[in-house]
């Protein structure tokens, strides 16, 4: 069986041909690495993902988690996969060497995590949340906290979680009520309840370190009065682990990621739950926000991963499943039956899935790459430039890729027909698992507000302007190639539409009509995402077209017949041809809609706001 989790050739294309990450190795920070080590890491990741993690995917989905006497058990198959994951040191891939990690570039981590998440998204929640929590301690912890918690979390010996949500405090995190009362010894007594805590309890590790947002007695209301605490499930006393009064009260029954324990946690029911302050009091939100980019990118990777696995499975199915004759022989009952990839509607769906998946992949990796360029920057100016790109692209990476990634998984079911709707095939699980990505880590609606309300406003629109300038550079370059004309024109148009809508938002925001940008934040993010993905695909097309021409020239293929022969026999040529096609299809089916999308936004249509609640429907 071929790798049905991701197109490895495309992964390498993005890493080496588009982003040219080998260049990162020239900076001192990444000087230890080379193409050879990157390849070895990718190969090892593919192997572990395919052979050990993927076989636990359907099993985890069917068995889910079991809550017994306040403790959660994960599916048995997860234990071996988790052990191998930790033994391989995968959590440490992009962790800095001075923190005990391997210090690989983030962009490579994106590729590895894509593979693992494609193999089993629910499984990856456990190490994923652990890393997020450990990163917080790495950044803000005291030396003692690093040694006591972070080291054990990076090695996988202990796990971690993020405890933000409470029943009344979801998107509105400032409404949280969990309480912290300072003890004479400087620790805090924690009491309260959290819900929707991913990986909140399980039996993969002997201890779990919860990062809990709580309000210290007497702290101001809202987000300004929130502190963050390290609250282990078992605390260390005299060198021994003792119970720290954290109880899992319930696990949610969910649409997808069944094997990820989504827990309701009660802290301090017996008044015996100790928390250790991370950073300073009332700094909780600021500390949390520091991790936001990373966490949101991680969800974007999940969206990508499910799309990737869904596309690969649908493609294989379409090549194998025989149904009906070719369209021009429809009326001939003796005509040979063909695989469904011969049928135009199936091809259209596959093409849609292909360009969206590849576009998301490039965008997500690009965000990871921006992070690396910040670290490897030679000047503050350069670092600021990439930080700007990253900041404005993060909500798009999270939302566009989870929304569109979901649609790819849905199309994978459509390609499979009735079988796709059945448990017998894995595609329906991809769709169910994928849906959560548009909801957690800040709903996509929140992401759109972050983009419109916060990111567009930074430095009077400087982030937006720098993205516009960057796409302009590419446009100039791509316009020189007449073969890319069909791609360039819709792209240029989409770009000016986005600029126009942004200007429109700017005007509205200073008038009494400021509700319009709020109301249309999500469609705006979609338009922005279309352009960002179009940017990636056009960039790729410029490279792929050049490579393809070189191959044609080398093979002296100067007629359509000879070119077809090259495409048939030369794998690279076929791949590059596919890359150009992705850009072309995307330009003509997505970007060409930008004018309509922009018009819909700028209609200023207010029904959604103005309509009295009573008029939505009569109950």
Partner 1 sequence: MKSLVCMKQVPDTETQIKVNSQGTGIVTEGIKYIINPYDEFSVEEALRLKEKFKQGEVVILTIGPDRCTESIRTALAMGADKGIHINDESLNSADPFVVAQALAAAASQVDYNVIFCGHRAIDDDFAEAGAMLAELLQIPQVTLVTKVEVSDDKTKAIVERDVEGGKETVEVSLPCVLTSQKGLNEPRYASLPGIMKAKKKPIDKKTAADLGITAEARLESREYSMPPERKAGKKLEGMEPPDAAKELVRLLRNEAKVI
Contact flag: residue 1 with partner 1 (CB under 8 A): yes
Which of 114, 371, 410, 441 is the catalytic position? 441
Contact flag: residue 243 with partner 1 (CB under 8 A): no
Contact flag: residue 339 with partner 1 (CB under 8 A): no
Cβ-based neighbour number of residue 470 at 10 Å: 15
Binding span for partner 1 by CB under 8 A among 83-91, 300-308, 435-443, 456-464? 83-91
Q: Which lies closer to partner 1 via its Cβ, residue 94 or residue 122? A: 94
- Residue 134 contacts residue 160 (beta carbons within 8 Å): yes
Site for partner 1, residues 3 to 22, rule: CB under 8 A: 3, 8-9
Residue ranges with strand state E in 419-503: none
Binding span for partner 1 by CB under 8 A among 85-93, 342-350, 385-393, 456-464? 85-93
Any idea how long the chain is? Answer: 619
Kindly tell me the burial class for residue 322, based on how many C-beta atoms sit within 10 Å of its own C-beta (0-12, 13-18, 19 or more).
exposed
Q: Which lies closer to partner 1 via its Cβ, residue 366 or residue 576? A: 576
Give, for 91, the enclosing helix (H) or strand (E): none
**The residue to which tokens 């790459």 are assigned:** 369
Contact flag: residue 88 with partner 1 (CB under 8 A): yes
Binding span for partner 1 by CB under 8 A among 28-36, 430-438, 499-507, 521-529? 28-36
Catalytic, 441? Answer: yes
Q: Which lies closer to partner 1 via its Cβ, residue 30 or residue 504? A: 30
Contact flag: residue 37 with partner 1 (CB under 8 A): yes
Among 13, 54, 82, 90, binds partner 1 (CB under 8 A): 90
CB of 33 to partner 1, least distance (A): 9
Site string for partner 1, 540-579 (x = CB under 8 A): -----------------------------xxxx--x----
Q: Name the residue among 570, 578, 575 with its Cα closest to residue 552.
A: 570
Q: Which lies closer to partner 1 via its Cβ, residue 513 or residue 550? A: 550
Strand partners, 241: 236
Contact flag: residue 92 with partner 1 (CB under 8 A): yes
Q: Which lies closer to partner 1 via its Cβ, residue 64 or residue 127? A: 127
Contact flag: residue 31 with partner 1 (CB under 8 A): no
Among 17, 22, 73, 84, binds partner 1 (CB under 8 A): 84
Cβ-based neighbour number of residue 8 at 10 Å: 15
Among 14, 81, 93, 261, binds partner 1 (CB under 8 A): 93
Contact flag: residue 385 with partner 1 (CB under 8 A): no
Give, for 321, the enclosing helix (H) or strand (E): none
Alpha carbons 135 and 138: distance in angstroms, whole number: 5
CB of 51 to partner 1, least distance (A): 8
Q: Which lies closer to partner 1 via its Cβ, residue 79 or residue 407? A: 79
CB of 39 to partner 1, least distance (A): 7
Kindly report the CA angle at 137 between 129 and 195, in degrees rounded to 5? 40
Alpha carbons 26 and 385: distance in angstroms, whole number: 19
Among 18, 77, 102, 266, binds partner 1 (CB under 8 A): 102
Among 31, 47, 564, 599, binds partner 1 (CB under 8 A): 47
- Residue 252 contacts residue 53 (beta carbons within 8 Å): no
Binding span for partner 1 by CB under 8 A among 81-89, 130-138, 184-192, 246-254? 81-89
Residue 188 vs residues 183, 208, 274, 542: alpha-carbon distances, Å: 5, 18, 6, 58
Cβ-based neighbour number of residue 539 at 10 Å: 21
62: which 2 tokens?
């069917």
Contact flag: residue 89 with partner 1 (CB under 8 A): yes
445: which 2 tokens?
């609606």
Residue ranges with strand state E in 252-374: 262-267, 274-278, 322-325, 337-339
Kindly tell me the burial class for residue 263, based on how many C-beta atoms sit within 10 Å of its own C-beta (0-12, 13-18, 19 or more).
buried
Q: What is the dihedral angle through the alpha carbons of 407, 413, 416, 420, rounded to the nearest 10 degrees?
A: 170
CB of 312 to partner 1, least distance (A): 12
Alpha carbons 439 and 428: distance in angstroms, whole number: 19
- Site residues (CB under 8 A) for partner 1? 1-3, 8-9, 32, 34, 36-37, 39-41, 43-44, 47-48, 52, 84, 87-90, 92-93, 102, 104, 569-572, 575
**Annotated active-site positions, please?**
441
């Amino acid at each position: 069986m071929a790798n049905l989790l991701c197109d490895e050739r495309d992964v390498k294309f993005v890493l080496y041909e588009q982003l040219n990450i080998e260049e990162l190795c020239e900076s001192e920070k990444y000087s230890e690495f080379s193409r050879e080590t990157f390849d070895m890491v990718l190969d090892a990741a593919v192997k572990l993902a395919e052979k050990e993690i993927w076989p636990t995917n359907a099993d985890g989905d069917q068995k889910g988690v079991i809550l017994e006497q306040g403790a959660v058990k994960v599916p048995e198959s997860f234990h071996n996969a988790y052990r191998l994951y930790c033994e391989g040191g995968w959590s440490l891939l992009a962790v800095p060497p001075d923190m005990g990690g391997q210090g690989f570039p983030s962009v490579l981590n994106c590729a590895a995590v894509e593979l693992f998440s494609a193999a089993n998204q629910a499984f990856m929640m456990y190490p994923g949340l652990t890393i997020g929590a450990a990163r917080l301690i790495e950044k803000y912890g005291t030396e003692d906290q690093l040694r006591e918690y972070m080291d054990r979390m990076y090695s996988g010996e202990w796990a971690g979680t993020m405890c933000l949500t409470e029943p009344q405090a979801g998107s509105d995190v400032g409404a949280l009520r969990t309480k912290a009362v300072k003890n004479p010894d400087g620790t805090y007594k924690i009491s309260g309840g959290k819900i929707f805590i991913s990986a909140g309890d399980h039996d993969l590790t002997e201890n779990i370190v919860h990062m809990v947002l709580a309000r210290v007695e007497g702290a101001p209301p809202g987000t300004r009065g929130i502190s963050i605490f390290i609250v282990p499930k078992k605390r260390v006393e005299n060198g021994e682990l003792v119970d720290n009064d954290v109880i899992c009260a319930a696990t949610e029954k969910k649409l997808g990621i069944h094997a990820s324990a989504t827990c309701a946690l009660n802290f301090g029911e017996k008044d015996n739950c100790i928390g250790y302050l991370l950073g300073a009091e009332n700094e909780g939100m600021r500390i949390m926000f520091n991790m936001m980019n990373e966490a949101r990118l991680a969800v974007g990777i999940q969206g990508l991963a499910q799309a990737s696995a869904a596309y690969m499975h649908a493609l294989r199915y379409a090549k194998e499943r025989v149904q009906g004759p070719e369209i021009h022989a429809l009326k001939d009952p003796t005509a040979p039956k063909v695989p469904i990839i011969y049928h135009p509607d199936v091809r259209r769906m596959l093409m849609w899935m292909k360009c969206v998946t590849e576009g998301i992949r490039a965008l997500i990796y690009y965000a990871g790459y921006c992070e690396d360029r910040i670290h490897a920057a030679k000047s503050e100016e350069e670092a600021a430039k990439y930080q700007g790109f990253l900041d404005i692209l993060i909500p798009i990476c999270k939302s566009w890729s989870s929304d569109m990634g979901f649609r790819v998984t849905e199309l994978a079911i459509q390609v499979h027909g009735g079988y796709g709707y059945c448990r017998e095939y894995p595609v329906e699980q991809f769709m169910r698992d994928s849906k959560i990505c548009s909801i957690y880590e800040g709903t996509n609606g929140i992401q759109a507000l972050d983009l419109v309300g916060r990111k567009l406003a930074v430095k009077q629109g400087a982030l937006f302007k720098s993205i516009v300038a960057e796409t302009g550079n590419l446009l100039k370059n791509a316009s020189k190639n007449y073969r890319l004309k069909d791609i360039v024109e819709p792209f240029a148009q989409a770009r000016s539409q986005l600029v126009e809508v942004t200007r429109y938002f700017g005007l509205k925001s200073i008038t009494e009509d400021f509700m319009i940008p709020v109301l249309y934040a999500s469609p705006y993010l979609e338009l922005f995402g279309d352009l960002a993905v179009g940017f990636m695909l056009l960039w790729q097309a410029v490279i792929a077209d050049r490579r393809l021409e070189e191959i044609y020239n080398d093979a002296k293929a100067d007629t359509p017949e000879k070119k077809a022969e090259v495409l048939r026999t030369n794998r690279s040529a076929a791949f590059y041809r596919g890359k150009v096609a992705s850009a072309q299809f995307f330009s003509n089916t997505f970007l060409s809609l930008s004018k309509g999308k922009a018009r819909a936004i700028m209609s200023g249509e207010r029904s959604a706001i103005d309509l009295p609640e009573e008029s939505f429907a009569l109950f």
